[in-house]
Amino acid sequence: MCTPSKIRRGSLNELPRRGYRICGHTFAFRGSKLVSSDLFPEATIDDVQLDDKIAELERELGMRRTLYPKWVASGKLAQHQAHRQIITLEAILEDYRKLWRENL
């Protein structure tokens, strides 16, 4: 499993300027920004548009609605945690939808 502590070992200045792998993903520097070349080729966080964020939240919410009942039934996730995580994501999605409507 890839943990943030594994990613943070060493300074970014010590990393090679060309591609290298962290947690199975290839990364490289674009100027001073560290970008994933296999997840979003030639993209940075600043390139992700509001409608893309909304679509990703909708996808994640759908996945949670499908998987969480199975996880609760198997004891992998507590019912109150599942409910809290879903309503939190729904609230975030609604905030993004409001922003989108305001920017029309």
Q: pLDDT per residue over 16-65, tens digit each?
A: 545 555 565 565 555 556 555 555 556 677 778 888 889 999 999 999 99
Tokens 């609605």 belong to 65
DSSP 15: S
Q: Measuring CA to CA, which residue among 103, 5, 2, 18 is closest to residue 54?
A: 103
At 47 the pLDDT is 77
Q: Measuring CA to CA, which residue among 58, 45, 52, 49 is closest to residue 92?
A: 58
- Quote the tokens at residue 95: 């905030």
Residue 38 belongs to what H/E stretch?
none
- Every domain of the chain and the residues it spans: 4-45, 48-102
CA 98 to chain centre: 21
- Quote the tokens at residue 99: 């922003």
Least confident range from 46-50, 72-76, 83-87: namely: 46-50
At 26 the pLDDT is 60
